[in-house]
Amino acid sequence: MKFDEIDKKILDILQTNCKITNAQLASEVGISPSSMLERVKRLENSKVINKYVALVSPEKVGRGTFALVSVALSIHQLESVDKFIKTFSDIDEVLECYHIAGDEDFLLKVAVRDMQEYQDFVLNKLSKVKGINKIKTTFVLSTVKFETKFKLPEEVAEEA
């Protein structure tokens, strides 16, 4: 998919405020509302825009304890990797799961209420998965930076 400076402006604005109306967005970008609607739909259909979400304060919903959990598998065959991915894709405590290179195979971002809930997660979910060789946990003391907005390249991308 090709996108231009107008698409970049749309993406920049929507990353900051996805609740903006189509008319307001069109006015800020400088095109008609009908053209805006068409452009946004094209960005959504091509998966440049994946979804719209509300960013919830973890502390306000009882999920203020974060852990970064490194997992090393004992077997590095496609079947064991796929099983791990499928298992942790549906576990509520796991916010993010990255397949990584290095000494460990996966990095999980886990959000829990407290240490007791983390212990329950490790004992009743994580440690029951066959094929895990090593688990290493790092607890987040505070969040120094949390950003969801991507800096778009200065030059106009030809393909997205």
Chain Cα centroid distance, residue 12: 18
pLDDT of the chain, 160 residues: tens digit per residue? 778 999 999 999 999 999 999 999 999 999 999 999 999 999 999 999 999 999 999 999 999 999 999 999 998 888 888 888 888 888 999 999 999 999 999 999 999 999 999 999 999 999 888 889 999 999 999 999 999 999 888 765 555 4
pTM across the whole model: 0.84
Which string of DSSP letters, residue by residue, matches 43-97? Answer: HHHTTSS--------TGGGT--EEEEEEEEES--SHHHHHHHHHHHHT-TTEEEE
Distance of CA 1 to CAs 4, 25, 68, 159, Å? 10, 21, 35, 5
Domains of the chain: 5-45 (1.10.10.10), 59-139 (3.30.70.920)
Q: Are 118 and 110 in contact (CB under 8 A)?
A: yes
